[in-house]
Amino acid sequence: MSRRGIGGDASVLHRAPGLAWSRAPQAAMVVISRHPMKPTIIVCGHGPGISDAVARRFGREGFAVALVARNAERLTAAAAALSAEGITAQAFPCDLGNASAVTAMVSDVRAALGPISVLHWNAYAGGAGDLTTAPVEELRAPLDVSVFGLLAAVQAALPDLKSARGAVLVTGGGLGFYDPKVDAMAVQWGAMGLAVAKGAQHKTVGLLHQKLAADGVYAADVVVLGMVKGTAFDHGNATLEPSEIAQRFWEINQRRTDVSVTFP
């Protein structure tokens, strides 16, 4: 008797020496998809400017893009614009100052687009502009977004980031630097709360860089020094191109050595 497949299963006829013919199961077939899942980047704090440029830059490299911010209508329009360019994109409305909501959002992104490879944190919040008069509780809003929301996202995405040897890429601000001239500027602009939050965020990124390196996860920030075209801060005198900042993010993600770089 010759060997042949039996019905629709994965067994074959075989005969051990001195024994009757019998059926022995073969190893289960492994099916390899011809369309492997794309890596996913979560862009938190999406809006015109840096975050939209980052979404496009990584999307052109084959990343699926999750756009996250509070305004669902604007997010949906932005996701549609990216999709029209051939980039896989979905909108995930979320209050990034609410740690529980951030954790749930990461789970939703994973379910919709697959494991997370890169977390880009561009979100910020104002408040407590004058630390000598603002209620202490008012300082919570900028810290909730710049630090606590960021950490909630990192913790929720960490299993994926470890598996992918992924990255946490943060948009930093010069107001967070420890410099008398910068401090004077923050006071003059009524941005003392934001300066505190950005300073804490900058330190947080440095700590994450050290802690996560052993797990193959890269953490860094690009500290933007100046006004970015197309943003809420552009009153006609902005000089920084969002696409160039996005390129800087792409470059540091490729090198994976810098803990912090400035732009320009």
The pLDDT of residue 36 is 62
- Distance (Å) of CA 93 to CA 21, 61, 68, 77, 108: 62, 24, 6, 12, 11
pTM: 0.86
pLDDT in tens, 188-204: 999 999 999 999 999 99
Task: Report percent pLDDT > 70 for the chain.
Answer: 86
Over residues 91-117, the mean pLDDT reads 99
Q: Looking at the chain, list the stretches that DSSP marks H as alpha helix, in order from N- to C-terminal side.
A: 50-60, 72-84, 99-113, 140-143, 150-164, 180-189, 192-212, 242-255
The 8-class DSSP code of residue 217 comes to -
For the stretch 153-166, pLDDT in tens is 999 999 999 999 99
Residue ranges covered by each domain of the chain:
46-263
- Mean pLDDT (the chain, rounded): 90
Q: Tell me the CATH number of domain 46-263, given options 3.40.50.970, 3.40.50.300, 3.30.365.10, 3.40.50.720.
A: 3.40.50.720
Owner of token pair 């960490």: 158
- What is the rounded distance in angstroms from the CA atom of residue 59 to the CA atom of residue 81? 12
Q: How far apart are CA 235 and CA 252, in angstroms?
A: 29
What average pLDDT does range 249-264 have in this prediction? 98
Banded model confidence at residue 232, pLDDT cuts 50, 70, 90: confident
Q: b/e map of 181-216 (b: 16 or more CB within 10 Å)?
A: ebeeebeeeebbbbbbbbbbbbebbeebbeebeeee
Residue 228: is it exposed, middle or buried by C-beta count within 10 angstroms (0-12/13-18/19+)? Answer: buried
